[in-house]
Chain A
């Protein structure tokens, strides 16, 4: 089965370029789709992805959907970190969820508005 985690937040931009890194932890595999204002810009593993200039991004929404499988036999815990840099200050968003049954999956839906 699949568990859903929904998260909304904001990120304060500045004049510089904004970068995104997504880390799916606990040794679990997963994949993500990154969108800016509903337009897909990248999928798969996301590392230092340039989202655009802060001034251009202001007012837009970063949406990330991530799908994490419980591969590990020793833990049912899944977690994900979104690291945004290049704005007023770097920011890390951390989410976690535990699957009820071995081999279940977690869907993380995250919206971050650039302000």
Chain B
């Protein structure tokens, strides 16, 4: 939360600066949009590894209940430990963004000593309550009251994933096994370097001999990498030996040493430390590559997922606690079918109770569908929702939404369409024109789903 508030402060300063620069321009919101778009194009050319889905905070029920989400049917997501969403729209871009949402997944705020990787990844020994709790998130959001009212709306929501019948990429098991093998080799690299650092050396060449001797003893020991076939085991260990000797030789060449050069214990320690550091650099790459391959398979998940969310909203007129009152309570389920890793069909059934002057004003039921197409840099969607109320006319909402990645931690979202009659997002009509700027907290927000 503290981190989130700091970011908000920085963003406020940034926004103030832009506002001052643009002061005097009549159509300043358009200029700001193009500045952001231009900056985004520049930044996004630097690094395209992060997909727009990685940046997006999972749908915040607190934002949804306030009715200020760019889309009314949000893509179900597993939570991240902390998410921040900041939204603004064209009509008010000349002031600071005033709509904020914070999401927290409480499960991940404390340690789970008994949760192993396999329990987490393959859902071993986990019951339904474990999964509900792991995917549970709490959100709080605020936005100014619609004009002419003065004050603040506050939303509080919860969400979790009820169930999933989806499959990750077909190479997941293979990649998980490869990842585990890499970690197994790394522990032998650590062990080997620990062993040779405890030995005494008088000549440089003895360090290389010690490395070869350790590798040979690993190859001959049947308890080492016993679940690998012998050929694979030897290949892995020979590769480890190659990297170790390469690092050793680098040190030899850089210091003009040869195998017969005399070294004392301090010099030997320095050389072994150099090898350790070099091997850690190599491990950084090897482990990262193996880890990312697992995550890539996870992102290729296709199939069915069902999310549940509930939220309440209150209005605080004149920003005063004593004038605070409930305005909405709602609960909704969001089924999603991912046809491929780029196309989702998302539905929603939502029940809303609206309050006015502390009395129930109406009960409404929303039902809708959204088609979402996404790739690395953008997401495009179209949604349609019907809202019914007992004894009254059914109203519809239609909206096009485009998300575009500006930079590694920022994307813009724009929505255009027609809102429910009598419930505009902005202004007095039913036109939807919303520009949102979303600042992601971390590059890999998604918790994986049970297999």
Contacts and interface: CB of A to CB of B under 8 A. Distances in A.
A16 interface: no
Contacts of A24: 116-117
Contact of B117 (A2, A71, A109): A71
B288 interface: yes
B191 A65 contact: yes
A48 interface: no
The A interface is mostly helix, strand or loop, or mixed, namely strand
A9 B183 CA distance: 26
Interface stretch (B92-100, B219-227, B245-253, B413-421): B219-227
Interface stretch (B107-115, B258-266, B310-318): B107-115
Interface in A60-115: 65-67, 69, 71-75, 77, 79, 81, 94, 96, 102-103, 105, 107, 109
Contact of B81 (A33, A65, A71, A75): A75
Contact of B190 (A28, A65, A77, A96): A65
A43 interface: yes
B113 A81 contact: yes
A23 B187 contact: no
Nearest to B195: A38
B161 interface: no
A21 to B, nearest CB: 11
Given A40-B223, A43-B224, A67-B187, A25 B114 contact: yes
Contacts of A31: 180, 183-184, 186-187
Contact of B223 (A30, A43, A66, A77): A43
Contact of B112 (A26, A33, A69): A26
B81 to A, nearest CB: 4
B113 A27 contact: no
Chain A: interface size category: 35 or more
B112 A25 contact: yes
A96 B111 CA distance: 9
A40 B221 contact: yes
Nearest to B442: A73
Contacts of A81: 113-114
B343 interface: no
Contacts of B443: 102
A74 B280 contact: no
Contacts of B225: 43
B288 A103 contact: yes
Contacts of A33: 187-188, 191
A23 B114 CA distance: 7
A65 B105 CA distance: 32
Contacts of B287: 69, 103, 105
Interface of B: 79-81, 105, 108, 111-117, 119-121, 179-180, 183-184, 186-188, 190-191, 194, 221, 223-227, 280, 283-284, 287-288, 291, 294, 442-447
Closest CB pairs A-B (n = 4) = A27-B120, A25-B113, A74-B108, A67-B187
Given A31-B183, A40-B224, A73-B446, 11 more contacts: A27-B116, A30-B117, A30-B183, A43-B223, A67-B183, A71-B117, A74-B79, A94-B113, A103-B287, A103-B291, A107-B187
